[in-house]
Amino acid sequence: MPAISREEVARVAALARISLADAELDQMASQLDSIVEAVRTVSEAAGGDVPATSHPIPLVNVYRPDAVHPSLSVEAALQSAPAREADQFKVPQILGEEP
């Protein structure tokens, strides 16, 4: 007996307001049943002693402590700028915006 019936696929399709032809319902039910069976097989093979994972290699975030460091002065940051206006970088106008 299939895990997902054609009627269940038709019900979910109706809830999602997706129109499926009879052939599509049969095909979708068969494909979903294959997926459920594959998941069942993997679940049986894993056993209770294998923890569930989302990634085969453990992922760990690497953090460094926040530290205050001196930054560039306004003059040092703007010394190589091709154009400047007051204490800011001056860039070409884009998208026809008003200045």
Domains along the sequence of the chain with CATH: 6-46 (1.10.20)
Summarize pLDDT for 38-96 with one digit per residue, the tens: 988 887 776 777 777 778 788 888 898 999 999 999 999 999 999 999 899 998 888 87
pLDDT at 27 over 90: yes
Query: Does the structure show a pLDDT above 70 at 18?
Result: yes
pLDDT band at 97 (very low <50, low <70, confident <90, very high): low
pLDDT at position 3 over 90: no
pLDDT band at 99 (very low <50, low <70, confident <90, very high): low
And the tokens for 34?
A: 């294959």
Rounded to two decimals, the pTM is 0.46
- Residue 98, pLDDT score: 66
Alpha carbons 40 and 17: distance in angstroms, whole number: 29
- Report the C-alpha gap between 15 and 68 in whole angstroms: 55
